[in-house]
Amino acid sequence: MSRSGLIAQSVLVVLIASSPAFVAFAQSPPPVAVESRPLPPPADAPPAPAPTAAPAPAPAPAPSAGPASTAPEAPAAAAPAPAAPAPVQQAQPVAPPSKFLAPPPADPSIPDEVVLVSKPAIILKGQSSWDDGYERLMGAFRKLDAEAKKAGLVVSGRPVTLFVDTDDQGFRYEALLPVETLPAQRPAGMPADIRLGGTPEGKAIRFVHQAAYDDIDSTYEAITAYLDLKGIEVKDTLIEEYVEFGKDAADGAIEINIYVQPRK
């Protein structure tokens, strides 16, 4: 408020205070306090309804008879996983027995060391000159094959010759024909010059002859040179295993495994 407004408001207050009405009002006695009572209701008014008591609060529900703790139950232990079934043992294929005294060579042109596996055999002894040697040996094998069939024996390998003794005129030999099994008793009617036995076994050095039988002396000369060079002493007996026969001693398709066995 401005200074002029404040002065105007003071003059107005003085004028009001000096008026006769204001003086009479100021000299009148103070009003008497009157007790305040409620007015009675009209005659035709319906009676006021009696105050209703406030409804009592509902009692808290009684605890149920269930478990006191509402914590979730611990999960049941998982059932152990069924044991994996044991793997079925697969039957291992059985390698058929070799028809040779030792596994075939990787390179027939190179001598190799082998271990001979003995096989059941029927054996025929004989002797021959060098000139008739091949035909005499073939005849011995034919006889052994015929006698094996008569006795019900199954041939299971290549024919073998064991040279027992040699000289300039000829040699003594044992012709052997491998069979699957030998009978418990000597077959009836088997010739007396045939016996039951087995092929040679043990460590040996193998040489392969792939040429006519008439040329086998050149292979034996190479064998002798090899043994001399290596300083290897061998047993006196020589072993020939006939991989392929020829129609005669001059057939170049003949193939023979020659085995010599070291003394040590």
Q: What pLDDT shows up at residue 239? A: 98
Residue 242 is assigned to a structural domain of this protein? yes
Q: What pLDDT shows up at residue 264? A: 79
pLDDT class of 75 with cuts at 50, 70, 90: low
Q: What pLDDT shows up at residue 128? A: 97
**Higher-confidence position of 135 and 94:** 135
In the predicted model, is pLDDT for residue 162 greater than 60?
A: yes
In the predicted model, is pLDDT for residue 65 greater than 90?
A: no
Tell me how far apart the alpha carbons of residues 207 and 211 are, in angstroms, rounded to a whole number.
13
Per-residue pLDDT tens for 51-61? Answer: 454 455 555 55
Tell me how far apart the alpha carbons of residues 119 and 105 are, in angstroms, rounded to a whole number.
19
Residue 81 is assigned to a structural domain of this protein? no
Q: What pLDDT shows up at residue 28? A: 45
Per-residue pLDDT tens for 200-223? Answer: 999 999 999 999 999 999 999 999
* φ/ψ of residue 25, rounded to 5: -65, -35
Residue 16 is assigned to a structural domain of this protein? no
pLDDT class of 98 with cuts at 50, 70, 90: confident
Minimum mean pLDDT range among 28-42, 112-126, 171-185? 28-42
Residue 194 is assigned to a structural domain of this protein? yes
Residue 190 is assigned to a structural domain of this protein? yes
Residue 4 is assigned to a structural domain of this protein? no
Counting residues of the chain whose pLDDT is more than 90, the rounded percentage is: 62
Beta pairing partners, 100: none
Q: What pLDDT shows up at residue 163? A: 97
Please give the span between the terminal C-alpha atoms of the chain, in angstroms, as a whole number.
Answer: 144
Count of domains for the chain: 1
DSSP letters for 212-223:
-GGGHHHHHHHH
Residue 59 is assigned to a structural domain of this protein? no
Tell me the torsion sign for CA atoms 216, 218, 222, 224. Answer: positive
Q: Are 136 and 249 contacting, i.e. CB atoms less than 8 angstroms apart?
A: no
Tell me the torsion sign for CA atoms 223, 227, 228, 230. Answer: positive
In the predicted model, is pLDDT for residue 69 greater than 80?
A: no
Mapped onto helix, strand or coil, the DSSP state of residue 188 is coil
In the predicted model, is pLDDT for residue 108 greater than 90?
A: yes
Domain CATH number, residue 232: 3.20.80.10
Tell me how far apart the alpha carbons of residues 81 and 115 are, in angstroms, rounded to a whole number.
52
Q: List, in order, residues 6 or more apart from 120 with CB less than 8 Å away.
A: 178, 179, 180, 181, 182, 196, 197, 198
Range of the domain at 249: 112-260
Residue 255 is assigned to a structural domain of this protein? yes
